[in-house]
Structure 1
Amino acid sequence: MMLLLNAKGPHPRGEGKRRTRLCLLIAAFMAFSPLAHAFDLQQLSEQLAKPHVIHGDFIQEKHLRALPKPLSSTGTFVLAKDHGLLWQLKTPLQQDYRITPQGIARRDGTQWQMLPGKSAGAEQNRLFLAVLQGDSSGLQRDFDLQLQGQADHWNLTLTPRSLLLKQVFKHIDIEGGALVQRIELHETQGDSTLLTMHNSISHQPLTAAEQHDFAQ
């Protein structure tokens, strides 16, 4: 989940972009759903459709085989069911991203700049839309899903089906209780990314600034 978007690693630029986009999509799917009673995909879909706005913080650690220590970043997120996702990096650099049905955009000063959309990005945007709509069938087109545990402590494993995703990921593990707390992506080349969400709340509406960001 390459949310350290400007961190330099051993991967080619194109592969890094695909990884970045997929990780944002997985974050959009898993970071913001109350799953207190989600023990099958139907219940999961129903829970995904309930929250209108979710605010929270994240910590990400990117473990690269070539580096002795993980690359860490922190930030905040806003997920609005009727609009999309704002992903706001705070440290070690500041950079804002927005995902909407139109694609992924990066803030450039006071404006949003759309990132190039290619075939892999279009496929990931389709996945993102399925997630926002609580469409588990959309996820099942790309992953085998296995849900285990109890309401207060559960885990979900996503195993890629498509050739594109199999080239990047072995599997994705998600853990949580009332909300998702931890996402770990295991890559085929041996690298991994750990994303921890905390302070997530679903009772706060969009601020005027957030509404403006989504409207641009």
Structure 2
Amino acid sequence: GYHAEVDRVVRQLAERLSRRHRRRQRRARRGLPDLKRTLRESVGHDAVPFRLHWRHRRRERGTVFVVCDLSSSVSRIARFLLLFLHRLTDVLPEVRTFGFSNRAGELSASLRTQDPVRAVEEALFVWGKGSTDYGQALFDFRDLVGRDLDHRSVVVFLGDARGNYFPPRLDVMREISRRARQVFWLNPEPADRWGEGDSLMRHYAPFCLHVDRCARLQDIERFADRLLTLSR
């Protein structure tokens, strides 16, 4: 059926991206040549480098928090993103996923333990109902993650930022941005619509490192590539 075909295409793209980044991770683990140490130890060998030493970079890995609008207007691209991230678990650091339409809930356990296609469809059914309220979702997300959101964290929002004229809770968005290492926003709508009607995108954008249009599977692949590069 349609959902199985979507998962097949997502799996192929994710496996290709995963292979590419596993190669990069192997090179990164080897590090860079440590010329000072190599030359220092070559003194006892008539200044001929006897052994090449490597300098390893240390980077603290943090959690990637993914917060998806699961309402009907965004459900198609949200489905792609959730399945894509699930297929990258071997190369991504810890990922925690959340879904909302108005109230937000965590999806991490079900995506980790159930069949991914079934888990995503269940999440869309449970959390994709009701009038979309971004302010309430931000408030819920902040409370759900608590102190786990810190200077190592990356937060990724996926949604059209159309809040049905509910309070946007910019104070909460500001706090999330201040506490996290980086915040990204993926919006399926064209950029020229971000200021129209009940769109809150212009209000949330200043708290994000990047705001990108994300309407196709190729857009998700490109963003995942960037995310994996940041997470090495």
Instruction: Name the larger-Rg structure.
Output: 2
Q: Would you tell me which structure has more strand in proportion to its own residues? A: 1
* TM-score, scaled to structure 1: 0.30
Q: Would you tell me which structure has more helix in proportion to its own residues? A: 2
* TM-score, scaled to structure 2: 0.28
